[in-house]
Chain A
Protein backbone atom coordinates (compact mmCIF):
# COMPACT_ATOMS: atom_id res chain seq x y z
CA UNK A 1 0.00 0.00 0.00
CA UNK A 2 1.13 3.49 -0.69
CA UNK A 3 2.58 5.07 2.39
CA UNK A 4 2.61 8.63 1.13
CA UNK A 5 -0.06 10.69 2.79
CA UNK A 6 -1.64 13.81 1.50
CA UNK A 7 -0.28 15.74 4.48
CA UNK A 8 3.25 15.08 3.28
CA UNK A 9 2.53 17.09 0.17
CA UNK A 10 0.74 19.77 2.11
CA UNK A 11 3.76 20.20 4.30
CA UNK A 12 6.15 20.34 1.40
CA UNK A 13 4.03 22.90 -0.41
CA UNK A 14 3.77 25.18 2.59
CA UNK A 15 7.51 25.17 3.23
CA UNK A 16 8.19 26.07 -0.38
CA UNK A 17 5.79 28.98 -0.36
CA UNK A 18 7.27 30.18 2.93
CA UNK A 19 10.66 30.06 1.34
CA UNK A 20 9.46 32.13 -1.57
CA UNK A 21 7.79 34.69 0.67
CA UNK A 22 10.96 35.23 2.60
CA UNK A 23 12.94 35.42 -0.62
CA UNK A 24 15.46 32.96 0.71
CA UNK A 25 17.96 31.98 -1.96
CA UNK A 26 17.68 28.38 -3.03
CA UNK A 27 20.97 26.53 -3.35
CA UNK A 28 22.16 24.49 -6.32
CA UNK A 29 21.07 20.89 -6.14
CA UNK A 30 24.38 19.60 -7.45
CA UNK A 31 27.15 21.56 -5.77
CA UNK A 32 25.05 22.60 -2.72
CA UNK A 33 27.24 25.64 -2.61
CA UNK A 34 26.12 28.37 -4.98
CA UNK A 35 22.81 30.13 -5.36
CA UNK A 36 20.54 28.42 -7.89
CA UNK A 37 19.88 30.43 -11.03
CA UNK A 38 17.60 28.12 -12.97
CA UNK A 39 14.74 25.83 -12.04
CA UNK A 40 14.04 22.96 -14.40
CA UNK A 41 10.84 20.93 -14.46
CA UNK A 42 9.75 22.81 -11.34
CA UNK A 43 12.08 20.76 -9.14
CA UNK A 44 15.72 20.81 -10.20
CA UNK A 45 17.67 23.90 -9.11
CA UNK A 46 21.10 24.53 -10.54
CA UNK A 47 23.69 27.24 -10.33
CA UNK A 48 25.29 28.75 -13.44
CA UNK A 49 28.39 26.57 -13.55
CA UNK A 50 26.70 23.26 -12.82
CA UNK A 51 23.99 24.01 -15.38
CA UNK A 52 26.44 24.86 -18.16
CA UNK A 53 28.35 21.65 -17.39
CA UNK A 54 25.16 19.60 -17.61
CA UNK A 55 24.30 21.06 -21.02
CA UNK A 56 27.79 20.49 -22.38
CA UNK A 57 27.64 16.92 -21.13
CA UNK A 58 24.22 16.27 -22.70
CA UNK A 59 25.47 17.60 -26.02
CA UNK A 60 28.57 15.44 -26.04
CA UNK A 61 26.59 12.40 -24.89
CA UNK A 62 24.07 12.77 -27.73
CA UNK A 63 26.88 13.04 -30.25
CA UNK A 64 28.66 10.07 -28.73
CA UNK A 65 25.52 7.94 -28.83
CA UNK A 66 25.19 8.27 -32.58
CA UNK A 67 28.65 6.66 -33.04
CA UNK A 68 28.64 8.15 -36.50
CA UNK A 69 31.19 10.89 -36.28
CA UNK A 70 34.63 9.72 -37.21
CA UNK A 71 37.86 11.69 -36.78
CA UNK A 72 38.53 14.03 -39.70
CA UNK A 73 34.91 13.91 -40.84
CA UNK A 74 33.65 17.11 -42.39
CA UNK A 75 30.29 18.10 -40.97
CA UNK A 76 27.97 20.74 -42.38
CA UNK A 77 26.38 22.81 -39.61
CA UNK A 78 23.01 24.22 -40.62
CA UNK A 79 22.93 27.70 -39.09
CA UNK A 80 19.92 30.01 -39.14
CA UNK A 81 21.00 32.50 -36.49
CA UNK A 82 18.23 31.54 -34.06
CA UNK A 83 18.88 30.83 -30.39
CA UNK A 84 19.43 27.09 -30.77
CA UNK A 85 21.83 27.41 -33.67
CA UNK A 86 23.90 29.96 -31.78
CA UNK A 87 24.09 27.53 -28.86
CA UNK A 88 25.18 24.77 -31.24
CA UNK A 89 27.91 26.99 -32.62
CA UNK A 90 29.11 27.87 -29.11
CA UNK A 91 29.18 24.23 -28.01
CA UNK A 92 31.11 23.22 -31.12
CA UNK A 93 33.57 26.04 -30.63
CA UNK A 94 34.18 24.89 -27.05
CA UNK A 95 34.51 21.31 -28.26
CA UNK A 96 37.23 21.98 -30.78
CA UNK A 97 39.17 24.14 -28.32
CA UNK A 98 39.05 21.59 -25.50
CA UNK A 99 42.03 19.84 -24.03
CA UNK A 100 43.43 17.23 -26.36
CA UNK A 101 41.78 14.15 -24.86
CA UNK A 102 38.32 15.72 -25.01
CA UNK A 103 38.70 17.64 -28.26
CA UNK A 104 36.31 17.09 -31.16
CA UNK A 105 38.24 15.54 -33.98
CA UNK A 106 35.77 16.30 -36.75
CA UNK A 107 35.75 19.53 -38.77
CA UNK A 108 32.60 21.64 -38.62
CA UNK A 109 31.83 23.81 -41.64
CA UNK A 110 28.92 26.22 -41.32
CA UNK A 111 26.16 26.74 -43.82
CA UNK A 112 24.18 29.89 -43.11
CA UNK A 113 20.79 29.99 -44.78
CA UNK A 114 19.63 33.58 -44.83
CA UNK A 115 15.92 33.97 -44.15
CA UNK A 116 16.03 37.69 -43.64
CA UNK A 117 13.65 38.48 -46.49
CA UNK A 118 10.91 37.87 -43.97
CA UNK A 119 12.30 40.38 -41.48
CA UNK A 120 11.52 44.08 -41.32
CA UNK A 121 14.01 46.02 -43.45
CA UNK A 122 15.57 48.04 -40.59
CA UNK A 123 16.13 44.87 -38.60
CA UNK A 124 17.82 43.31 -41.58
CA UNK A 125 20.34 46.09 -41.91
CA UNK A 126 21.25 45.87 -38.22
CA UNK A 127 21.14 42.13 -37.66
CA UNK A 128 22.75 40.70 -40.78
CA UNK A 129 26.16 42.27 -40.11
CA UNK A 130 25.91 40.92 -36.54
CA UNK A 131 25.33 37.40 -37.86
CA UNK A 132 28.26 37.78 -40.23
CA UNK A 133 30.40 38.82 -37.31
CA UNK A 134 29.25 35.85 -35.24
CA UNK A 135 30.13 33.54 -38.14
CA UNK A 136 33.54 35.11 -38.48
CA UNK A 137 34.18 34.90 -34.72
CA UNK A 138 33.27 31.23 -34.62
CA UNK A 139 36.55 30.51 -36.37
CA UNK A 140 35.02 27.88 -38.62
CA UNK A 141 34.88 27.94 -42.39
CA UNK A 142 31.49 29.07 -43.58
CA UNK A 143 29.26 29.23 -46.61
CA UNK A 144 26.34 31.55 -47.13
CA UNK A 145 23.19 30.96 -49.08
CA UNK A 146 19.66 32.26 -49.18
CA UNK A 147 16.27 30.63 -49.04
CA UNK A 148 15.66 31.94 -52.54
CA UNK A 149 18.58 29.89 -53.86
CA UNK A 150 16.03 27.29 -54.94
CA UNK A 151 15.54 29.58 -57.95
CA UNK A 152 19.27 29.81 -58.63
CA UNK A 153 20.34 26.16 -58.60
CA UNK A 154 21.28 26.26 -54.92
CA UNK A 155 24.12 28.69 -55.30
CA UNK A 156 26.11 29.51 -52.21
CA UNK A 157 29.07 31.69 -51.44
CA UNK A 158 32.23 31.34 -49.54
CA UNK A 159 32.91 34.73 -48.03
CA UNK A 160 35.92 36.06 -46.22
CA UNK A 161 35.09 39.71 -45.83
CA UNK A 162 32.67 40.14 -42.94
CA UNK A 163 31.54 43.57 -44.03
CA UNK A 164 30.61 42.38 -47.48
CA UNK A 165 26.98 41.43 -47.37
CA UNK A 166 26.37 42.31 -50.99
CA UNK A 167 25.60 38.67 -51.76
CA UNK A 168 22.66 38.93 -49.39
CA UNK A 169 21.16 41.94 -51.12
CA UNK A 170 17.63 41.57 -52.33
CA UNK A 171 17.37 40.24 -55.84
CA UNK A 172 14.76 38.98 -58.25
CA UNK A 173 14.72 35.49 -56.74
CA UNK A 174 13.80 36.96 -53.35
CA UNK A 175 10.77 38.60 -54.85
CA UNK A 176 9.83 35.31 -56.48
CA UNK A 177 10.13 33.55 -53.13
CA UNK A 178 7.99 36.19 -51.41
CA UNK A 179 5.36 35.81 -54.14
CA UNK A 180 5.49 32.05 -53.66
CA UNK A 181 4.81 32.46 -49.94
CA UNK A 182 2.06 35.03 -50.48
CA UNK A 183 0.57 32.59 -52.91
CA UNK A 184 0.15 29.93 -50.24
CA UNK A 185 -3.20 30.55 -48.65
CA UNK A 186 -2.96 29.14 -45.15
CA UNK A 187 -0.38 29.89 -42.48
CA UNK A 188 -0.18 26.16 -41.75
CA UNK A 189 1.08 25.36 -45.23
CA UNK A 190 3.42 28.36 -45.19
CA UNK A 191 5.09 27.13 -42.01
CA UNK A 192 5.28 23.56 -43.26
CA UNK A 193 6.67 24.67 -46.61
CA UNK A 194 9.35 26.79 -44.93
CA UNK A 195 10.49 23.82 -42.85
CA UNK A 196 10.70 21.50 -45.86
CA UNK A 197 12.43 24.19 -47.90
CA UNK A 198 15.19 24.51 -45.29
CA UNK A 199 15.82 20.77 -45.34
CA UNK A 200 15.80 20.74 -49.11
CA UNK A 201 18.48 23.43 -49.30
CA UNK A 202 20.60 21.73 -46.65
CA UNK A 203 20.50 18.42 -48.50
CA UNK A 204 21.23 19.92 -51.89
CA UNK A 205 24.19 21.95 -50.71
CA UNK A 206 25.60 19.08 -48.67
CA UNK A 207 25.50 17.04 -51.84
CA UNK A 208 27.17 19.72 -53.92
CA UNK A 209 29.94 20.10 -51.33
CA UNK A 210 30.16 16.33 -51.02
CA UNK A 211 29.49 16.21 -47.27
CA UNK A 212 27.53 13.32 -45.87
CA UNK A 213 26.77 14.64 -42.40
CA UNK A 214 24.63 17.60 -41.41
CA UNK A 215 24.04 18.94 -37.90
CA UNK A 216 20.81 20.82 -37.26
CA UNK A 217 19.99 22.76 -34.10
CA UNK A 218 16.54 21.39 -33.29
CA UNK A 219 15.89 21.11 -29.55
CA UNK A 220 13.60 18.82 -27.50
CA UNK A 221 10.79 21.36 -27.39
CA UNK A 222 10.91 21.89 -31.16
CA UNK A 223 10.84 18.17 -31.76
CA UNK A 224 7.98 17.41 -29.38
CA UNK A 225 5.93 20.10 -31.11
CA UNK A 226 6.96 18.51 -34.42
CA UNK A 227 5.63 15.11 -33.28
CA UNK A 228 2.17 16.50 -32.59
CA UNK A 229 1.97 18.84 -35.54
CA UNK A 230 3.20 16.13 -37.92
CA UNK A 231 0.34 13.93 -36.83
CA UNK A 232 -2.17 16.72 -37.27
CA UNK A 233 -0.80 17.50 -40.73
CA UNK A 234 -1.16 13.95 -41.97
CA UNK A 235 2.57 13.34 -41.71
CA UNK A 236 2.24 10.67 -39.04
CA UNK A 237 4.28 8.25 -41.12
CA UNK A 238 7.19 10.68 -41.01
CA UNK A 239 7.36 11.29 -37.26
CA UNK A 240 10.14 8.80 -36.68
CA UNK A 241 12.29 10.45 -39.36
CA UNK A 242 11.59 13.98 -38.27
CA UNK A 243 12.63 13.51 -34.64
CA UNK A 244 15.33 10.86 -34.94
CA UNK A 245 18.80 11.58 -33.60
CA UNK A 246 20.11 10.50 -36.97
CA UNK A 247 17.68 11.06 -39.77
CA UNK A 248 18.52 9.09 -42.86
CA UNK A 249 15.79 10.11 -45.23
CA UNK A 250 18.31 10.38 -47.98
CA UNK A 251 20.47 7.27 -48.07
CA UNK A 252 23.77 9.06 -48.61
CA UNK A 253 23.32 11.87 -46.07
CA UNK A 254 23.02 11.66 -42.30
CA UNK A 255 21.06 14.47 -40.70
CA UNK A 256 22.10 14.57 -37.03
CA UNK A 257 20.32 16.50 -34.27
CA UNK A 258 22.85 16.96 -31.47
CA UNK A 259 20.65 19.31 -29.42
CA UNK A 260 17.68 16.98 -29.26
CA UNK A 261 18.11 16.31 -25.54
CA UNK A 262 18.15 20.01 -24.65
CA UNK A 263 14.93 21.97 -24.14
CA UNK A 264 14.28 25.50 -25.36
CA UNK A 265 14.40 26.84 -21.79
CA UNK A 266 17.83 25.33 -21.31
CA UNK A 267 18.96 26.85 -24.60
CA UNK A 268 17.87 30.33 -23.52
CA UNK A 269 19.58 30.07 -20.14
CA UNK A 270 22.73 28.64 -21.68
CA UNK A 271 22.89 31.68 -23.95
CA UNK A 272 22.19 34.13 -21.14
CA UNK A 273 24.76 32.56 -18.83
CA UNK A 274 27.37 32.60 -21.58
CA UNK A 275 26.41 36.14 -22.57
CA UNK A 276 25.56 35.12 -26.13
CA UNK A 277 23.20 37.52 -27.82
CA UNK A 278 20.37 36.05 -29.87
CA UNK A 279 20.61 37.28 -33.44
CA UNK A 280 17.92 36.25 -35.85
CA UNK A 281 14.25 36.33 -35.06
CA UNK A 282 12.11 33.25 -35.52
CA UNK A 283 9.74 33.12 -38.45
CA UNK A 284 6.56 33.71 -36.50
CA UNK A 285 7.22 37.28 -35.45
CA UNK A 286 8.16 38.95 -38.70
CA UNK A 287 5.79 36.93 -40.82
CA UNK A 288 3.05 37.08 -38.22
CA UNK A 289 1.97 33.59 -39.18
CA UNK A 290 0.33 32.82 -35.91
CA UNK A 291 -2.82 31.26 -37.30
CA UNK A 292 -1.08 28.04 -38.14
CA UNK A 293 -1.78 24.59 -36.81
CA UNK A 294 1.88 24.31 -35.85
CA UNK A 295 1.70 27.45 -33.75
CA UNK A 296 -1.47 26.25 -32.05
CA UNK A 297 0.30 22.97 -31.28
CA UNK A 298 3.23 24.93 -29.91
CA UNK A 299 0.96 26.91 -27.60
CA UNK A 300 -0.79 23.72 -26.54
CA UNK A 301 2.51 22.11 -25.60
CA UNK A 302 3.75 25.20 -23.72
CA UNK A 303 0.45 25.59 -21.91
CA UNK A 304 0.51 21.95 -20.79
CA UNK A 305 4.15 22.32 -19.85
CA UNK A 306 3.24 25.06 -17.33
CA UNK A 307 1.03 22.64 -15.40
CA UNK A 308 2.79 19.37 -16.14
CA UNK A 309 6.52 19.96 -16.41
CA UNK A 310 7.23 16.61 -18.08
CA UNK A 311 4.99 17.24 -21.10
CA UNK A 312 7.79 18.01 -23.54
CA UNK A 313 9.79 14.92 -22.56
CA UNK A 314 6.76 12.62 -22.66
CA UNK A 315 5.67 13.72 -26.12
CA UNK A 316 9.23 13.62 -27.40
CA UNK A 317 9.80 10.08 -26.13
CA UNK A 318 6.53 8.89 -27.65
CA UNK A 319 7.77 10.22 -30.98
CA UNK A 320 11.01 8.36 -30.45
CA UNK A 321 9.24 5.04 -30.02
CA UNK A 322 7.30 5.24 -33.26
CA UNK A 323 8.74 3.27 -36.15
CA UNK A 324 8.04 3.37 -39.85
CA UNK A 325 8.26 0.28 -41.96
CA UNK A 326 8.26 1.99 -45.30
CA UNK A 327 9.69 0.96 -48.61
CA UNK A 328 12.71 3.11 -49.43
CA UNK A 329 11.77 3.40 -53.10
CA UNK A 330 8.57 5.25 -52.43
CA UNK A 331 9.79 8.60 -51.22
CA UNK A 332 8.18 11.98 -51.52
CA UNK A 333 10.16 13.92 -54.10
CA UNK A 334 9.94 17.13 -52.15
CA UNK A 335 10.40 16.28 -48.46
CA UNK A 336 12.11 12.89 -49.00
CA UNK A 337 9.82 11.15 -46.53
CA UNK A 338 8.13 7.83 -47.22
CA UNK A 339 4.80 7.71 -49.02
CA UNK A 340 2.14 5.24 -48.08
CA UNK A 341 1.30 3.50 -51.31
CA UNK A 342 -1.21 0.96 -50.20
CA UNK A 343 -3.92 3.27 -49.00
CA UNK A 344 -6.70 0.75 -49.20
CA UNK A 345 -6.91 0.45 -45.43
CA UNK A 346 -6.64 4.18 -44.77
CA UNK A 347 -10.20 5.31 -44.94
CA UNK A 348 -9.50 8.81 -43.60
CA UNK A 349 -7.15 9.49 -46.52
CA UNK A 350 -9.86 8.63 -49.02
CA UNK A 351 -12.36 10.68 -47.09
CA UNK A 352 -10.16 13.76 -47.05
CA UNK A 353 -9.43 13.36 -50.77
CA UNK A 354 -13.14 13.39 -51.49
CA UNK A 355 -13.40 16.38 -49.21
CA UNK A 356 -10.74 18.32 -51.12
CA UNK A 357 -12.36 17.51 -54.42
CA UNK A 358 -15.79 18.60 -53.35
CA UNK A 359 -14.41 21.62 -51.48
CA UNK A 360 -14.75 23.73 -54.59
CA UNK A 361 -18.46 23.04 -54.69
CA UNK A 362 -18.97 23.80 -51.06
CA UNK A 363 -17.36 27.16 -50.69
CA UNK A 364 -18.03 28.76 -54.02
CA UNK A 365 -19.23 32.25 -53.12
CA UNK A 366 -18.90 33.82 -56.56
CA UNK A 367 -17.53 33.35 -60.06
CA UNK A 368 -14.10 34.65 -59.14
CA UNK A 369 -13.46 31.58 -57.09
CA UNK A 370 -14.36 29.45 -60.03
CA UNK A 371 -11.93 31.25 -62.24
CA UNK A 372 -9.16 30.86 -59.72
CA UNK A 373 -9.66 27.13 -59.59
CA UNK A 374 -9.56 26.83 -63.35
CA UNK A 375 -6.39 28.91 -63.50
CA UNK A 376 -4.77 26.74 -60.93
CA UNK A 377 -5.44 23.66 -62.96
CA UNK A 378 -4.16 25.18 -66.15
CA UNK A 379 -1.07 26.69 -64.65
CA UNK A 380 0.83 23.46 -64.23
CA UNK A 381 0.73 22.11 -67.80
CA UNK A 382 1.95 25.43 -69.15
CA UNK A 383 4.87 25.19 -66.77
CA UNK A 384 5.56 21.58 -67.57
CA UNK A 385 5.68 22.37 -71.26
CA UNK A 386 8.64 24.60 -70.58
CA UNK A 387 10.62 21.59 -69.44
CA UNK A 388 12.55 20.14 -72.37
CA UNK A 389 11.56 16.66 -73.37
CA UNK A 390 8.50 16.59 -71.22
CA UNK A 391 6.16 16.42 -74.19
CA UNK A 392 7.60 13.11 -75.27
CA UNK A 393 7.47 11.64 -71.85
CA UNK A 394 5.03 8.83 -71.57
CA UNK A 395 1.87 9.71 -69.78
CA UNK A 396 0.36 7.16 -67.52
CA UNK A 397 -3.10 7.16 -66.14
CA UNK A 398 -3.46 7.92 -62.50
CA UNK A 399 -5.01 5.58 -60.02
CA UNK A 400 -8.58 4.76 -60.83
CA UNK A 401 -10.30 6.11 -57.81
CA UNK A 402 -8.65 9.52 -57.91
CA UNK A 403 -9.64 9.79 -61.55
CA UNK A 404 -13.18 8.94 -60.70
CA UNK A 405 -13.29 11.67 -58.11
CA UNK A 406 -11.94 14.28 -60.51
CA UNK A 407 -14.42 13.42 -63.23
CA UNK A 408 -17.21 13.93 -60.77
CA UNK A 409 -15.99 17.46 -60.19
CA UNK A 410 -17.56 19.45 -62.98
CA UNK A 411 -15.72 22.65 -62.15
CA UNK A 412 -12.32 21.25 -63.10
CA UNK A 413 -13.29 21.01 -66.78
CA UNK A 414 -10.05 19.87 -68.31
CA UNK A 415 -9.25 16.34 -67.31
CA UNK A 416 -5.82 16.27 -68.91
CA UNK A 417 -4.55 19.25 -66.94
CA UNK A 418 -5.91 17.65 -63.84
CA UNK A 419 -4.01 14.54 -64.64
CA UNK A 420 -0.81 16.59 -64.88
CA UNK A 421 -1.40 18.13 -61.49
CA UNK A 422 -2.21 14.72 -60.15
CA UNK A 423 0.98 13.32 -61.63
CA UNK A 424 2.99 15.86 -59.71
CA UNK A 425 0.92 15.16 -56.64
CA UNK A 426 1.42 11.45 -56.98
CA UNK A 427 5.12 11.91 -56.51
CA UNK A 428 4.52 13.81 -53.27
CA UNK A 429 3.51 12.62 -49.84
CA UNK A 430 0.14 13.48 -48.35
CA UNK A 431 1.52 16.43 -46.38
CA UNK A 432 3.26 17.98 -49.39
CA UNK A 433 0.17 17.48 -51.52
CA UNK A 434 -1.64 19.62 -49.02
CA UNK A 435 0.83 22.44 -49.52
CA UNK A 436 0.30 22.16 -53.26
CA UNK A 437 -3.45 22.28 -52.74
CA UNK A 438 -3.05 25.47 -50.76
CA UNK A 439 -1.25 27.31 -53.54
CA UNK A 440 -3.43 29.64 -55.54
CA UNK A 441 -1.27 29.18 -58.57
CA UNK A 442 1.72 27.00 -59.28
CA UNK A 443 3.42 29.67 -61.38
CA UNK A 444 5.90 30.64 -58.69
CA UNK A 445 7.18 27.14 -58.02
CA UNK A 446 10.81 26.99 -59.10
CA UNK A 447 11.15 25.31 -62.45
CA UNK A 448 14.05 23.24 -61.12
CA UNK A 449 11.85 21.59 -58.54
CA UNK A 450 9.19 20.75 -61.08
CA UNK A 451 11.75 19.43 -63.49
CA UNK A 452 13.37 17.23 -60.91
CA UNK A 453 10.15 15.98 -59.41
CA UNK A 454 8.63 15.01 -62.71
CA UNK A 455 11.86 13.55 -64.07
CA UNK A 456 12.38 11.41 -60.97
CA UNK A 457 8.82 10.31 -61.05
CA UNK A 458 9.06 9.33 -64.71
CA UNK A 459 12.25 7.40 -64.05
CA UNK A 460 10.56 5.52 -61.22
CA UNK A 461 7.58 4.71 -63.37
CA UNK A 462 9.84 3.46 -66.14
CA UNK A 463 11.78 1.33 -63.71
CA UNK A 464 8.59 -0.27 -62.47
CA UNK A 465 7.50 -1.00 -66.05
CA UNK A 466 10.67 -2.76 -67.09
CA UNK A 467 11.19 -4.45 -63.73
CA UNK A 468 9.82 -7.77 -64.97
CA UNK A 469 12.20 -7.86 -67.91
CA UNK A 470 15.33 -7.19 -65.92
CA UNK A 471 17.63 -10.09 -65.24
Chain B
Protein backbone atom coordinates (compact mmCIF):
# COMPACT_ATOMS: atom_id res chain seq x y z
CA UNK B 1 0.00 0.00 0.00
CA UNK B 2 1.49 3.33 -0.96
CA UNK B 3 1.85 5.96 1.66
CA UNK B 4 0.09 9.22 0.93
CA UNK B 5 0.28 12.04 3.39
CA UNK B 6 -2.61 14.43 3.33
CA UNK B 7 -2.97 17.34 5.68
CA UNK B 8 -6.08 15.93 7.33
CA UNK B 9 -4.89 12.36 7.60
CA UNK B 10 -3.27 10.27 10.32
CA UNK B 11 -0.52 7.98 8.98
CA UNK B 12 0.38 4.87 10.93
CA UNK B 13 2.25 1.61 10.39
CA UNK B 14 0.47 -1.53 11.53
CA UNK B 15 2.36 -4.82 11.54
CA UNK B 16 1.29 -8.39 12.25
CA UNK B 17 3.28 -11.43 13.22
CA UNK B 18 3.23 -14.90 14.72
CA UNK B 19 0.43 -16.05 12.41
CA UNK B 20 -1.88 -13.04 12.95
CA UNK B 21 -0.92 -11.82 9.45
CA UNK B 22 -2.93 -14.69 7.99
CA UNK B 23 -6.06 -12.94 9.23
CA UNK B 24 -5.03 -9.74 7.43
CA UNK B 25 -4.71 -10.81 3.84
CA UNK B 26 -1.42 -12.56 4.55
CA UNK B 27 0.41 -9.22 4.67
CA UNK B 28 2.75 -8.47 7.53
CA UNK B 29 3.11 -4.72 7.11
CA UNK B 30 0.33 -2.27 6.38
CA UNK B 31 0.88 1.47 6.00
CA UNK B 32 -2.51 2.82 6.91
CA UNK B 33 -3.98 6.28 6.91
CA UNK B 34 -6.65 6.79 9.49
CA UNK B 35 -9.34 9.42 8.95
CA UNK B 36 -8.85 12.56 11.01
CA UNK B 37 -11.09 12.75 14.06
CA UNK B 38 -11.99 15.27 16.69
CA UNK B 39 -11.15 12.91 19.52
CA UNK B 40 -7.65 11.50 19.59
CA UNK B 41 -7.07 8.02 18.11
CA UNK B 42 -6.54 5.47 20.86
CA UNK B 43 -5.55 1.82 20.57
CA UNK B 44 -9.14 0.93 21.44
CA UNK B 45 -10.39 2.83 18.40
CA UNK B 46 -7.61 1.44 16.22
CA UNK B 47 -8.55 -2.17 17.04
CA UNK B 48 -12.19 -1.45 16.16
CA UNK B 49 -11.08 0.24 12.92
CA UNK B 50 -8.81 -2.70 11.99
CA UNK B 51 -11.65 -5.12 12.56
CA UNK B 52 -13.91 -3.15 10.23
CA UNK B 53 -11.40 -2.25 7.55
CA UNK B 54 -8.43 -4.60 7.37
CA UNK B 55 -9.46 -7.91 8.86
CA UNK B 56 -10.21 -10.46 6.16
CA UNK B 57 -10.66 -13.70 8.10
CA UNK B 58 -12.35 -14.93 11.25
CA UNK B 59 -12.61 -11.87 13.55
CA UNK B 60 -12.99 -14.13 16.60
CA UNK B 61 -9.35 -15.14 16.21
CA UNK B 62 -8.24 -11.53 16.60
CA UNK B 63 -10.64 -9.50 18.71
CA UNK B 64 -12.44 -10.16 21.93
CA UNK B 65 -14.79 -7.45 23.13
CA UNK B 66 -13.11 -4.16 22.38
CA UNK B 67 -9.60 -5.47 22.94
CA UNK B 68 -7.46 -8.09 21.23
CA UNK B 69 -7.78 -11.71 22.19
CA UNK B 70 -5.66 -12.89 25.15
CA UNK B 71 -2.49 -14.34 23.70
CA UNK B 72 -2.02 -11.55 21.15
CA UNK B 73 0.66 -9.10 22.23
CA UNK B 74 0.61 -5.43 21.27
CA UNK B 75 3.76 -3.35 20.90
CA UNK B 76 3.85 0.33 20.08
CA UNK B 77 7.25 1.41 18.75
CA UNK B 78 8.68 -1.82 20.22
CA UNK B 79 7.33 -0.96 23.67
CA UNK B 80 4.95 -3.19 25.60
CA UNK B 81 1.46 -1.65 25.57
CA UNK B 82 1.04 -2.55 29.25
CA UNK B 83 3.54 0.23 30.01
CA UNK B 84 1.73 2.95 28.12
CA UNK B 85 -1.87 2.51 29.17
CA UNK B 86 -3.07 -0.37 26.96
CA UNK B 87 -6.35 0.50 25.21
CA UNK B 88 -6.26 4.13 26.36
CA UNK B 89 -2.92 4.91 24.74
CA UNK B 90 -3.25 7.91 22.45
CA UNK B 91 -1.63 7.18 19.12
CA UNK B 92 0.81 9.63 17.63
CA UNK B 93 1.45 10.14 13.94
CA UNK B 94 3.76 7.56 12.35
CA UNK B 95 3.56 5.24 15.35
CA UNK B 96 4.47 1.63 14.63
CA UNK B 97 1.89 -0.74 16.11
CA UNK B 98 2.77 -4.41 16.12
CA UNK B 99 0.35 -7.24 16.86
CA UNK B 100 2.00 -10.61 17.50
CA UNK B 101 0.09 -13.77 18.18
CA UNK B 102 1.51 -16.32 20.59
CA UNK B 103 -1.40 -18.71 20.13
CA UNK B 104 -0.61 -21.95 18.38
CA UNK B 105 -3.38 -24.37 19.12
CA UNK B 106 -2.15 -25.96 22.31
Residues of A within 8 A of B (CB): 20-21, 23, 26, 35-39, 42, 45, 48, 82-83, 120, 122-123, 191, 221-222, 225-226, 229, 264-265, 267-269, 272-273, 277-278, 281-290, 292-299, 302-303, 305-306
Contact = CB atoms under 8 A, between A and B. Distances in A.
A129 to B, nearest CB: 16
B68 to A, nearest CB: 11
Interface residues of B, number: 31
A272 B70 CA distance: 19
A298 B82 CA distance: 21
Given A20-B88, A45-B83, A286 B22 contact: yes
Interface in B55-91: 58, 61, 69-71, 73, 75, 78-80, 82-85, 88, 90
6 cross-chain pairs, A with B, having the tightest CB-CB distances, nearest first: A294-B106, A284-B105, A282-B104, A302-B70, A285-B19, A264-B102
Given A281-B22, A282-B18, A284-B19, A36 B83 contact: yes
Contacts of B70: 299, 302-303, 305-306
Nearest to A282: B104
A37 B83 contact: yes
24 contacts: A36-B83, A37-B78, A37-B79, A37-B83, A38-B83, A82-B104, A225-B106, A229-B106, A267-B102, A272-B75, A272-B78, A272-B98, A277-B17, A281-B18, A284-B19, A289-B105, A292-B105, A292-B106, A295-B103, A296-B106, A299-B70, A299-B71, A302-B70, A303-B70
Contacts of A297: 106
Given A83-B18, A191-B106, A268-B102, A302 B71 contact: yes
A268 B73 contact: yes
Interface of B: 17-19, 21-23, 26, 58, 61, 69-71, 73, 75, 78-80, 82-85, 88, 90, 98, 100-106
B32 to A, nearest CB: 20
